[in-house]
Amino acid sequence: MRLVLTILAFVAACPVGSAMADDECFVPMADWKPREAVAALAAQQGWTVRRIKIDDGCYEIDGTDAQGQQIEATVHPATLEILEIEHNDGDGRQRREGESQNDD
């Protein structure tokens, strides 16, 4: 019986731990900055915002950067840290900021 309880406890704990590790933006809603602050951050970056949405607990900004290139930026809801920026290279391919553009 003790072995069964140990296994059940382990199985119950595993999904929670892995889900939290994958979710960079897991913060209570009370700690979130308002959408207006996200829009202001985008304006400071020179971005034109098409849409601000919530994805996997993070803010996600769809729009264009200062050079007119389509972007999708992931922003931490409590700190407004820019976690990731994906650029659309115009040929249907996307690249994340910091990745090599020549990955052929």
Model pLDDT for residues 13-53, shown as the tens digit of each residue? 544 433 333 457 999 999 999 999 999 999 999 999 999 99
Q: Any idea what DSSP says for residue 1?
A: -
pLDDT of residue 22: 46
Instruction: Quote the tokens at residue 58.
Output: 């993070």
| Distance of alpha carbon 79 from alpha carbon 51, whole angstroms | 19
Whether 75 contacts 62, CB under 8 Å: no
Whether 89 contacts 100, CB under 8 Å: no
Q: pLDDT band for 12, please (50, 70, 90 cuts).
A: low
Domains of the chain, with CATH numbers? Answer: 27-96 (3.10.450.40)
Whether 63 contacts 46, CB under 8 Å: no
